[in-house]
Structure 1
Amino acid sequence: MVGCGQRDLTKKKIPGFLKENLRLTSYQIVGGSQHFQFYNLVVSSAGNAGHGYGTIGTPDAAPYALTVGAVTNNVYIGSGSFKNQPRFGNSTYFSGDVAGFSSKGPGLVGDPKPDLMGIGEYSFTPISVTKYNKNATGPFALFGGTSLAAPLVAGSAAVLMESLKQKGEQYNPFRIENILMSTATDLENDPFTQGAGLVNVTNAINFVKGKDETFIVYNDASYSNVKKILDVPIKALNSSSIGLERFQLNNKSFPETSWFGGRLLPGERTSATFTIENPTDKTLEIKITPKTLELIKKSQYDGTTVVNLKDPLLNKSGVFRPNYLPLENVKDRLDLLSFFQKSKPIPEDASLMVLNLNFPFSEFLNASSKMYADDIKISSLYLYDWEDKNKDGKQTYTELSMVNRGGSWGTVQELRVSEPNSKIKHVPLVGVYPVPTRYSYWQGDTKKNSTSMDYTISASYYKKENWNDIWLNSNDIQVAPHSSVHVMATLVVPLDSQPGVYQGFLSVKDDLHEVNVPVSFGVLKKLQPKDLPTVLKGSKNGNILYGTGYIGGAFDMANRYNAGDWRQYYFDVQDRTINTVSLNISWENKDTNLSVFVVDPQGRIVQTNVPAGVLGQFQGWPTGD
C-alpha cells in the first residue's frame, strides 16, 4: 500500500498521461509488469489546486489508483496563528465540507475523480512527521492539504485489510477500493468534487462484519473502458523509461465501484453489469436511482469592501474583521418591496450550497503597475453560523462559528456547504475579508495599505434530481442474505449532447445504507470533412455545476500553476489522411486568457498556447510558436 502526497510541483502540474500515472497504474494491477506480480493499493492525494474543475494533476489522476480530496476540520481554530483572528470565529464545531483548495476532476481520460475524501483542512500531526522546524519543542504541529487526506485514507485501508485478514477473506486493491467507496459518507457534492464521499472506516468494517445492512456495489465495465484508452499510450511507451522491463495492463477485468462509460458519440449507448453484494443475515430491499445535481435557486448581491474594520472585542493592532453580510441579503431584488421583505435564504430542499465571491480583474490587479502582477488586492470568503447571544444585532467574533471558507490569489473565491439547513442552527452570515495590505506576485506582502474593492456574491443552491440518461433493467431489488444480485445499467447519450465530459450518480439505497456510485462519460466531436471547419460554440448552462460549454474562472497567482477551471474535449478523427489541424480559440472578455493544451492519443502534449519556459527544457513541452 502506498500513500502519496506528491510535492514535486514541476511534475504535478503538467496535464497529460505522464509516466508517473502509468507507473502508479503498474503498481496496482497484477500483470502490469514483469517486476510487479503482486497487488499494491496506491493511495494518492488529489492535489491542492482547487476550487476549479480539472485540476487533478500527475500522478494523482492515475485512473486505477485511489485519488483522495480534502474536507474541512475546524479543530485548528483558536490555535497558533489562528488565535484571536476574528475571521476564523470562535468555534471548532464544524467539519466535513469540501476544502476550497481540494483539486477536482475529471481525470484526463474523462473518468470520475477523485475517488474519496479525507480530512485535509486541517489537523495536528506529530512534530516528528512534519519536521517544519528542527527547533520545535511541542509534540504536535498543524498540517493539512490533500497530503494529509491521502495518508488518512491509506490508514483506513490498512484497518480494513486487517479486518478482512482476521476474517480469513482474500482481497486485492480493487476489493479494498470498492469497499471504501461503497461505505463512504455522501457529502452531497458532484462526483468530480467528492467521488463517492468521505471515507468512513466504521462503515467499511460493518461490511466485513455483516452489520447495519451495509452492502457494496461494483461494475464490470469501467476497467475495460479505461484500458481501451490507456492501451494506446502504453503501446508507444518505452517501458524501461519508467524502470520496468515490460509494461502492459492485464487483460482480465477488475471490478470497480465508479462507472466510466467511455467516450461516445451522441446517440450511442454503453452498458455495465452492477453487482450488489449483501454480507448480512437479512434480505435487503434496495432501490436504484440515477441522480444528478441541479440548480434550484440562485441569487446575488453587489457590494464594496471596507478595509481595516475592527471587531468590538479585539482592539489589537493589525487585527481586522471581515465585512459581514447576512445571507438573507444575498437575494434578487425584483422590486422595491422585495428589498424590505425578509425570507429564509436557504431553500428547504437544498442539499448543497455554493457561495462565490467575484471581483473585476481591474479591481484585483493594478494594470498601471510598472511590473506585471506587482500590485494585487486580495479578499477571501467566509460563511458563519451567527448566534446573537446578547440580542444586540451586532456581530462579534465570539458569537461566530465558521462553517467553511474560500480564498486564493484570484478573482473568484468559492466555498461549499452540504446540507446547509441542518448544519446552520442560527443566522447564516457571509464574511468578505479584505486583506489589509497589497501583495506582489514576485515579492509577497508589499506592506502597502489596501483599498476597497467592488464585488459580487452569488449563492447557488442544488439538490439531486433524477437523471434520465441511464436506464436500469430493474430499479427495485431484493438481495438475499450472504448473496449477490446483478443489475444491468445502460447509458444512452442524448442526441443533442454537446462535446465534453458529463457526470452523475447511481444512488443504490436501502433503509440504513446508501452507496453513491460516481458515473462519468465523454462525448466525442466528429470532425467535418477535410478543409471544412469543425466548430465548438460555448454556451453557459447555469443549472449544473460542471458545464461543458464554459469555464468559470478559478486561477490562482500564488504559485498554483494548474489552478483554474479546466474543460476537455475529445475529437473523433476518422480520416487517417489528415495530418495537420489548425485550432483557433476566441473569447469576448479582454481580461480573460485561456490556456489550451492539445494532447494526442498517446498522451503527449503536441501543442499549446502556453509558453514552454523551463518545462520545454525539462519536460519536452512544445515551444508554443
Structure 2
Amino acid sequence: GNNGPGFNTVTPPTTSSYSISVAASTSYGYRVDFGYLHGSWDDVVIWSSRGPSNLGSLKPDVTAIGAFGWTAGFLWAGVGNGWFASEIFGGTSMAAPMTAGTVALMVSAFKSLSKSYTPELVKLIIKSTTDSLTYDPLSQGTGRINAYKAVSFIINNDGFLVYSSSQSEKFAPEILDTLNAYTDEDFKLTDLIRNDVGIYLGDVRRGGIAWARITIEGAGTYKIKPVTLKVVSEEVYEIPINLSEIPSGSTLILGVFDESYFTDVDMVELALTFNYSYLDPYGRSGYYQNWLELMTVLRYWIDLNNDSTITLNETAWLHNDYRIANTITLTIANASTKFEGVLQKVSEQLGIPYEDLLQMSRAVVLTLHVFYNAWYNQTSDIAVFKLIVRKYKFEDWPIIFAPKKIKVSTKRVFTAFLRVPWDYPSGYYVGYLIVTREDDGRKILVPISFTVATTISYVTTWVTLPEGSPPSDLYYNNYALRGAFDWYGWYVTSDWRVFTINIKDPNVKALLVTVMWPYKDSNLDVILAGPWKVVVIDWNTYEIKKDMILNGLVTGGKLTYPLYMWGWLPHFDLPAPGVAMIIMPVWGPGKYRLLIRNAPFAGEMYAEPFIVQITPIRMFYRKWFHMPSTASTLYRVTVYSASSILNESWVYPFIDGFNSTHYIDDISTVGIYLGEDQILLRRRGIFYVDMLKLNITTDSTPKERYFIGWYVETPIPTLAVGYYYGGYEYMYYENTLPVLFTLVVR
C-alpha cells in the first residue's frame, strides 16, 4: 500500500500472515531519460506503507522497486505518434508485480528441475535471498528482492534458510474461529501453522520471559546477532521563511551538508515540519483548504563545471517526498554506498572518469519545492520551519538472547529468549536477528518482535499508559506520533499505534478510554477491536443460521470522517481539543486491540506524545435467568466503575431477541415484557456503584431459552464519527451498552 510513512499503515489483503506483502523502494535511474543526472536507488519510498499489522504480525515481508520505472501504456496508448505508448510507473502496484514476476521465475526453476515446491517454501526462499536496504523491519521486511539469488538458490542450492513457526502459532488461535465462520470450512489449528522468516514472541508481561524455536537449514557455521534500530542523535534547525515573498513554482535550498554528515550512521531522517496554521489557517472554523503544497528533495551535488556554485542540473536525486501536509520527511540509509553508486553512474552517463569525479567538489543538498503558496503577496508573515535531523544505528539488543555462533550440518534448531525489562511499558517492540554464514558472509535479516500487553484483571481499577518512562531511543516509539498524514492520500495515511489489551475479568463489559495530547491542532482518533458475538439470520424464515464469536470487530471508537478526496481528514473533538474520550463495549474476556492515530498534526515537534487512561466498567448480573411461563420478577444489575460515567442514565429494553433457533422481532409476541429504569449512581469509596432493579414479566410464554436484554444509555458515546466544517460540528454517535442475558422459561 501507499499509505506511509506512518506505522501500522499496511491494509488488507497485505496484512494476511500467509501473503507476501511488498514495500516499495526507490530507483531514480529513469531521470537520465529526461536529461538529468542518474539518481540513486535502494531507499524505502516515503509513502510505502509500514507495518506491523494490527495483530502485530511482521509486515511488510519484502521490498521491490516502486519509484520509478518505465512500463507499457494502456491498450490504445500507441495511437497517433505513439507518445503515450510508454509511461513512468510506480507505487506498490509496481513493486508487487515485480515480486510476482520473481515468484514466476522461481516456479519455472522448480519445474525445470522437477522439484516439488509449496507456497510456504517459495515465501521462505524469496525472503531469505533479499538484499538489506539498511532499514527497519517495519519498512523493508527482510530487504529488497533479488531474483537472481532466489533462482540460484533453487538451481545451485547455494543459499540457506532461517525460519520459525512462531508467528502463526501465536496468531492462529485468534483467527481460527473467524476463518471457519467466514469460509464454512472446518480448519484445525494445525492447518494454520506455517514457517516464516520472522519471529514473534507473543504477548509478554513487563519483566517476563518468552522464547521461540528457530531453524537454520543449510550447512555452515553461523553467527547470530540481535539488533534494533536506535536514535543516536537529533538536531533541530529553525529556518525562518517569509511566505509572502515566495511565489508558487519556487525552489529553495534549505541546507547543504558534507557527505560525512550521512556516512557515520546506518540511516538519516530529515523531517521538515511547520505549524498547522500555515497549512490551513482557518482550521476548525474553516473549510480545510491547504495554503501550501510542498516537496522536499535530497540531492547529491557534483561541481561538474568547477565554479563552486550549486545548480540543480549538477545534482542527482537521492530521495524525495511530496505530500499535502505540514511535515515532509526524507530518509537515506547506507549513504556511502548511495554516493559511490551515483558517482559510478554519472561517470558512465557523462563519460567522465570516476577518479576525476572524486576530485570535484561534492555535497548533499536539501531543496524545497513550492508547488502552491496561497500566502504569496499576503501580509508579511515569517513562518518558522523546523528541520529535524535524526540519525540512527543498528545496535545490540541486549534483551534478546541467542547463541552467538552455531554450526549446522544440514538443519539445526536453536532457541532465542527474551527477557522484557521492567521499564518497558505496554507496546510493540521490533528488531532483527542477523544470521551470517561465516564462509561467504551471506546474511539473512530475520525480523523479531514482541508485544508488552496491558492486562485488565479482576482487581484493576484503572491503567495509565505509558507505565513509567518509555524508551526514547527506539525508532518505533509507542507513545509519540509523527506527522505522517497526507490530504492527498488515503484515509489510513497517518501515524498509528496499536496496544494489546488482555481482559481477564468476565464482568468487565466496557472500557472508558481517555487519550490526551498537548497540542490542540493535532487530532487523534481511538478505536477498539476484538471479539464479539454475531448472529447470522435468514431474513425470509428468521431462522438462526450461525451463532458465533468473531474476532477483530470494531466495538467502539471515536473516528474522524474524511472530506473531499480519499483521506482529507479535518478536526473532530470529543469532548474537546487535546482530549478524546469514548466508552468501548467489550463482549467478555479475550484479547482486544486499542488503535490510536493522528491526523491532522500540529507540527510543533518531530513526534507528539500522548497518554492513555483505561478505566474498566464492570457489570454484575445473572447471565442465565429462570422464570415460569407466567410470572413477574425483578432482575438486578450492579454497575461498578472508578468514574461516574453513567450518572442519571436510562435503561431501555430490547424489543427483539432470539430463542434457541429463531430471531424474534418483538418479544411481546411471545409474552415477554421488560421494564425500564433510570440509573442514579452512588459513590462508595473509590467506586461509583448502583443496583439496577428492572422488571421482567412473562405471560403464557412458550417454554424456551430466549437471548434478550436492555440497552444502558451512556452520556459518553460508545461510537462517534464526525468532523468540524465551517465552524460547525457534525457527528453521528451511538451511546448504549448492552446488558445481555439468557431467559429460561420453564
TM-score between both structures, scaled by the size of structure 1: 0.78
Find the counterpart in structure 1 of residue 204 from structure 2.
Answer: 264
In structure 1, what is the Cα distance between the partners aligned to 2:279 and 2:371?
A: 12
Q: What residue in structure 2 maps to residue 524 of structure 1?
A: 453
- Equivalents in 2 of 1:470, 1:513: separation in Å? 22
**CA distance 1:449–1:167, shift in 2 (3 Å):** farther
Question: What does residue 59 of structure 2 align with?
Answer: 113
Q: Deviations over 1:342-367 (max 9, x none)?
A: x942352x111111111111222112
Match for residue 400 of structure 1 among 300, 315, 320: 315
Please say if 1:546 is aligned against 2:476.
yes
CA distance in 2, matches of 1:464, 1:76: 31
Question: Given residue 224 of structure 1, which amino acid in structure 2 is its aligned partner?
Answer: E
Matching of residues 133-152 of structure 1 within 5 Å: 137-152=83-98
| Residue number among 70, 83, 95 corresponding to 2:41 in the alignment | 95
Does the Cα contact within 8 Å between 1:105 and 1:192 map onto a contact in 2? yes
What SS does the aligned partner of 1:76 have?
helix
Does residue 1:301 correspond to 2:213, yes or no?
no
* Counterpart residue type for residue 117 of structure 1: T
Give the Cα–Cα distance (whole angstroms) in 2 for the partners of residues 231 and 447 of structure 1.
Answer: 61
* CA shift in 2, pair 1:77/1:304, >3 Å: farther
Q: In the TM superposition, what are the counterparts of 1:301-380 in structure 2 within 5 Å?
A: 301-305=237-241, 320-327=250-257, 344-346=260-262, 348=264, 350-367=265-282, 371-380=286-295
Determine the structure 2 residue equivalent to 1:248.
Answer: 187
Per-residue deviation, 1:623: 4.5
AA aligned opposite 2:174? I
1:565 maps to which of 491, 495, 500: 495
SS in 1 for 2:176: helix
Is the Cα–Cα contact under 8 Å of residues 109 and 229 in structure 1 kept in the other structure? no
Residue in structure 2 matching 1:231, options 173, 176, 179: 176
Q: 1:585 aligns with which of 506, 510, 515?
A: 515
Alpha-carbon contact 1:227-1:249 (below 8 Å) kept: no
* CA displacement, residues 143-171 of structure 1 (integer Å, 9 cap, x when unaligned): 11101100110111111111122222221
Aligned position for 1:429: 365
**Paired residue secondary structure (2:66):** strand
- CA deviation profile, 1:192-223 (whole Å, cap 9, x unmatched): 11110101111112222336x52111113222
Contact 1:305 1:323 in 2 (8 A): no
Q: Provide the rounded CA distance (Å) in 2 between the counterparts of 1:369 and 1:220.
A: 49
| Structure 2: distance between partners of 1:537 and 1:394 | 50
C-alpha displacement of 1:266: 1.9
In the alignment, which residue of structure 2 is the partner of 1:489? 416
Conserved 8 A contact 1:437-1:447: no
Separation of aligned partners in 2, 1:372 and 1:489? 54
Partner of 1:475: 404
Change (3 A) 1:407 1:611: closer
Q: Structure 1's 344 and 199: CA in aligned 2 closer, same or farther, altered over 3 A?
A: closer
User: Of 384, 387, 393, which residue of structure 1 is paired with 2:299?
Assistant: 384
Distance in 1 separating the partners of 2:389 and 2:229: 15
Give me the whole-angstrom Cα distance separating, in 2, the residues matched to 1:578 and 1:218.
39
Summarize deviations over 1:605-624 as a string: whole Å, max 9, x none: 11111156899xxxxx9544
My pick for the range that moved more, 368-377 or 50-59, is 368-377
Distance 1:392 1:542, change over 3 A: farther
Contact 1:326–1:428 at 8 Å: present in 2 too?
A: yes
Letter in 2 for 1:219: S
Q: 1:163 to 1:588 in 2, by over 3 A?
A: same
> Is 1:420 paired with 2:335?
yes
- CA 1:272–1:592: 2 relative to 1, 3 Å: same
Partner residue of 1:464? 394
Instruction: Say which SS state the counterpart of residue 422 (structure 1) adopts.
Output: helix
- Distance apart, 1:540 and its partner CA: 6.3
Instruction: Letter of the 2:201 partner, please give it.
Output: G
Q: Are 1:309 and 1:322, in contact at CA under 8 Å, matched by a contact in 2?
A: no
* 1:610 aligns to 2:559 (yes or no): yes
Say yes or no: does 1:216 pair with 2:161: yes
Q: Distance in 1 between matches of 2:245 and 2:378?
A: 17
Q: Would you say the 8 A contact 2:280–2:288 is kept in 1?
A: yes
Deviation at 1:245, TM superposition (A): 3.4
Tell me how far 1:309 sits from its aligned partner. 10
1:595 pairs, out of 502, 525, 529, with: 525
Deviation at 1:247? 5.8
> What are the equivalent positions in structure 2 for 1:13-32 lying under 5 Å apart?
none
Shift of 1:378: 2.6
Is the CA contact 1:72–1:95 (under 8 Å) kept in the aligned structure 2? yes
Partner Cα separation in structure 2 for residue 144 and residue 100 of structure 1: 13
Is 1:157 matched with 2:103?
Answer: yes
Amino acid of the residue matched to residue 251 of structure 1?
Answer: T
Q: How does 1:261-300 map to 2 (within 5 A)?
A: 261-278=201-218, 283-300=219-236
Which whole-Å deviations, capped at 9, do the CAs of 1:221-248 have from their partners, x for residues lacking one? Answer: 222112122235436x3x2xxxx43263
**Residues 173 and 450 of structure 1, relative CA distance in 2, 3 Å threshold:** farther
- Flag the structure with larger Rg: 2
Structure-2 change in CA distance of 1:250 and 1:158 (3 Å):
farther
Partner Cα separation in structure 1 for residue 552 and residue 284 of structure 2:
40
Q: In 2, are the aligned partners of 1:97 and 1:418 still within 8 Å (CA)?
A: yes
Q: For the Cα contact (< 8 Å) 2:248–2:370, is it kept in 1?
A: no
Paired residue secondary structure (2:515): coil
Q: Which moved more, 1:257-266 or 1:192-201?
A: 257-266
Match of 1:18 in 2: none
2:501 is paired with a residue whose SS is strand
The residue matched to 1:566 in structure 2 has which SS? strand
Does the aligned pair in 1 maintain the 2:78–2:85 contact within 8 Å? no
Q: CA deviation at 1:189?
A: 0.8
More contact order relative to length (CA 8 Å, sep ≥ 6) = 1
Deviation at 1:560, TM superposition (A): 1.8
Q: What is the distance in 2 between the residues matched to 1:265 and 1:234?
A: 28
Partner-residue secondary structure (3-state), 1:567: strand
1:181 maps onto 2:124 in alignment:
no
Structure 1 residues 205 and 228 mapped into 2: Cα distance closer, same or farther (>3 Å)? same
Deviation, structure 1 residue 116 = 0.5
Equivalence for 1:335: none
Give yes or no for contact 1:306–1:323 (8 Å, CA) kept in 2.
no
CA contact (8 A) 2:250 2:370 kept: no
Say what the alpha-carbon RMSD is for the aligned residues.
3.0
Task: Give the aligned length.
Answer: 524
1:239-278: CA deviation from partner (whole Å, max 9, x where unpaired): 2xxxx43263651432111112222222333322222122
- Aligned with residue 536 of structure 1, among 454, 459, 465: 465
Corresponding residue of 1:33: none
Structure 1 residue 564 displacement after superposition: 0.8
Seen in structure 2, the aligned counterparts of structure 1 residues 300 and 173 have a Cα distance that, compared at 3 Å, is same
Question: Is 2:454 the counterpart of 1:508?
Answer: no
| 1:172 Cα deviation from its structure 2 partner | 1.1
Structure 1 position 499 matched with structure 2 position 426: yes
**2-structure distance, mates of 1:273, 1:137:** 56
Instruction: Tell me the amino acid that sits aligned with residue 543 of structure 1.
Output: D
Equivalent residues of 1:294, 1:465 under 8 A apart:
yes
Gaps of at least 5 residues in structure 1 are 1-46, 85-89, 311-316, 329-342, 440-445, 616-620
* Contact 2:43 2:331 (C-alpha < 8 Å) held by counterparts: yes
- Bigger fraction of residues in strand: 2
1:422-443 residue CA offsets vs partner (Å, 9 max, x unmatched): 322531111122224449xxxx
Separation (CA, whole Å) in 2 of partners of 1:302 and 1:389: 31
